Amino acid sequence: MQLLSILALFSTAVVGLSHPAALVRAPSKVCTVPAAGSESIDDTPAVLRAFDECGHGGKIVFQNTTYHINSVMNTTGLENCEIDLRGTLLWSTNISYWLSHSLPVGYQNQSTAWVIGGKNVHFNGHGYGTLNGNGQAWYSATGSVSNYPRRPHAMTVAETSNSKFYGLRFLQSQMWTLSIIHSKNTVFDSIYVNSTNHGGSSRNTDGADTIYSSHITFRNWEVDNGDDSISLKANSTDILIEDCLFHRGLGLAMGSIGQYKDVYETIERVTARNITFSGTLHAVYFKTWTGEQVNYPPNGGGGGLGHASDMTFKDLQATALRGPAFAISQCTTFSGTAGNCTSSKFQLRDLSFRNINGTTTSHNVASFQCSAVEPCENIQITDVNLTLQSDGTEADAYLCGHVEGTRGFNCTGAVCVGGSATGGC
Ligand SMILES: *[C@@H]1O[C@H](CO)[C@@H](O)[C@H](O)[C@H]1NC(C)=O
Ligand SMILES: *[C@@H]1O[C@H](CO)[C@@H](O)[C@H](O)[C@H]1NC(C)=O
Ligand SMILES: *[C@@H]1O[C@H](CO)[C@@H](O)[C@H](O)[C@H]1NC(C)=O
Ligand SMILES: *[C@@H]1O[C@H](CO)[C@@H](O)[C@H](O)[C@H]1NC(C)=O
Ligand SMILES: *[C@@H]1O[C@H](CO)[C@@H](O)[C@H](O)[C@H]1NC(C)=O
Ligand SMILES: *[C@@H]1O[C@H](CO)[C@@H](O)[C@H](O)[C@H]1NC(C)=O
Ligand SMILES: *[C@@H]1O[C@H](CO)[C@@H](O)[C@H](O)[C@H]1NC(C)=O
Ligand SMILES: *[C@@H]1O[C@H](CO)[C@@H](O)[C@H](O)[C@H]1NC(C)=O
Ligand SMILES: *[C@@H]1O[C@H](CO)[C@@H](O)[C@H](O)[C@H]1NC(C)=O
Ligand SMILES: *[C@@H]1O[C@H](CO)[C@@H](O)[C@H](O)[C@H]1NC(C)=O
Ligand SMILES: *[C@@H]1O[C@H](CO)[C@@H](O)[C@H](O)[C@H]1NC(C)=O
């Protein structure tokens, strides 16, 4: 009975996901953006002029050259607009400028360098159009400080529907690469992200983050970074992630969530399939804030309500995972304080992990550290073939704390309850 209703929900999720973006009509007007060709000349005014003139029913063309983006851009409210990126947008590294001018994203006090959005927007990079955030300057400047206030995301897609972003390359993003907020029925296809720090970690360089968004598809992504490969946050529903390749980062993240005291948020109806993980920490992990609020976002919070449910992760391949393939941590709290890992009021339930093979460095297939207040319910894991790199034996440990209703596996031991926001201790 329970199983049937869950299967029904899972199939609804998949059916509900295919909302192809409507076709953009032939553009009435084409605006080709001129490039000044010098880093001391800001190309932003020319870009904004093109969006003003051609953002409704027109086409904006970036030629095969480098555009210097020295100022914030707000190109929202577009309609039936085509954007053709054949060159590189290169962001400036005037840190003090960006820290005082970056635009609010609308969640977690995050901010951005470029907010773009509208209806029927088709943004095509043809597989080579590049957004280069010049992130090395940011990785060096922010060092080990997490979520440095006002450090900008590379691009934010806001208030967007029936749109498509494809063939884009994001290099060295300043912080998160792509935040997607208040958006629906939008496809992000064939996107390459590479934010690697020469000689250090590239923390907070998430590949993409969804917030208050539904019916979003990620297809054919390749991400090489130092944080979440793709992360689904508050009110992300009906999300499909397929045919992707993730390198080095933390894997697919559900959360963090539960950061706002007494606010109800969910992540629901998620399907991820045919994903390859290469040297990531996890394949999939969940992170919620604890039940107690300590300080404020971006780096503090907690005490939030809600649930993450109805998710299927299947046909996963792994090479050299650095930790448990599947992890849950409900320990996220203000940095520097020891959180109560069992007090969260946010529940995880009806999760299915099916068919993972490959290699790992962890004996633990799963590490599920759930809340005692809202225990995890109904978790299925089947068809696991993970081989330890060290000796070729099978990873076979399933560590649990407050997990009710396992299918396809039995818990083999108690989870280590520690302060790690990414699972385990
Ligand atoms: C862009 O221009 C460069 C030369 O400036 C050329 O090597 C490259 O092939 C061009 N790319 C495309 C896609 O046309
Ligand atoms: C950086 O931006 C600030 C404004 O925020 C400006 O005063 C300063 O001249 C800029 N520095 C450079 C090197 O352009
Ligand atoms: C972008 O511009 C629109 C229209 O002027 C405005 O409503 C919106 O608040 C702006 N967004 C940001 C993040 O500044
Ligand atoms: C974030 O925004 C909230 C209001 O939404 C504010 O109370 C809080 O102080 C801000 N946090 C930081 C670190 O700026
Ligand atoms: C990302 O960039 C680094 C540095 O250029 C490079 O070594 C690495 O191979 C790239 N990753 C992918 C997946 O292309
Ligand atoms: C799985 O994803 C890869 C890209 O990572 C793609 O090349 C391959 O065709 C996909 N396989 C299937 C069966 O769709
Ligand atoms: C988030 O989802 C919850 C549950 O559906 C809803 O009550 C809440 O209003 C949503 N919040 C926002 C900001 O959309
Ligand atoms: C942690 O939270 C749980 C659940 O609310 C509670 O029973 C326990 O006493 C708390 N532990 C501490 C050390 O406060
Ligand atoms: C996992 O299984 C897939 C499909 O059977 C296969 O293509 C792939 O090579 C396997 N990967 C590993 C690491 O064994
Ligand atoms: C598990 O995968 C290894 C290769 O990674 C393979 O040799 C072995 O036959 C597989 N076992 C099962 C039960 O599929
Ligand atoms: C879990 O344990 C029960 C009771 O010992 C056993 O019947 C069942 O076969 C086990 N399930 C798996 C998947 O190992």
User: Rounded distance, CA 29 to CA 54, Å?
Assistant: 6
Q: Which of 26, 33, 128 is nearest to 81 (CA)?
A: 26
Q: Is the dihedral of CA 53, 59, 60, 61 positive or negative?
A: negative
- Ligand minimally distant from the alpha carbon of residue 116: 3
Query: Average pLDDT, whole number, for the chain?
Result: 93
Active site (catalytic) residues: 227
Global confidence as pTM: 0.94
From 38, 39, 70, 97, mutation site for ligand 2 pocket: most ligand atoms within 8 A of C-beta: 97
Residue 14: pLDDT over 70: no
Q: Which of 192, 183, 230, 189 is nearest to 211 (CA)?
A: 183
Tell me the pLDDT tens digit for each residue of 153-189.
999 999 999 999 999 999 999 999 999 999 999 999 9
Q: What does the block give as tokens for 128?
A: 């080579």
Residue with tokens 């927007």: 121
**Tell me, what amino acid is at 325?**
A
- For strands 161-171 and 73-85, give the pairing: unpaired
Residue 11: pLDDT over 80: no
Task: Work out the end-to-end distance of the chain between its first and last CA atoms, rounded to an integer number of angstroms.
Answer: 37
Q: Which atom of ligand 7 is nearest to the CA of 234?
A: 1
Residue 5: pLDDT over 60: no
Tell me the pLDDT tens digit for each residue of 58-105.
999 999 999 999 999 999 999 999 999 999 999 999 999 999 999 999
Residue with tokens 């449910």: 309
Q: Which atom of ligand 3 is nearest to the CA of 103?
A: 13
What CATH number does the domain located at 30-414 have?
A: 2.160.20.10
User: Rounded distance, CA 388 to CA 381, Å?
Assistant: 18
For the chain, helix (H) and strand (E) counts, in that order, are 4, 28
User: Rounded distance, CA 394 to CA 366, Å?
Assistant: 13
Q: Is the CB of 264 under 6 A from ligand 4?
A: no
Q: What does the block give as tokens for 3?
A: 């199983």
Q: Is the CB of 101 under 6 A from ligand 3?
A: no
Which residue minimizes the CA distance to atom 2 of ligand 4?
Answer: 109
Which residue minimizes the CA distance to atom 2 of ligand 9?
Answer: 357
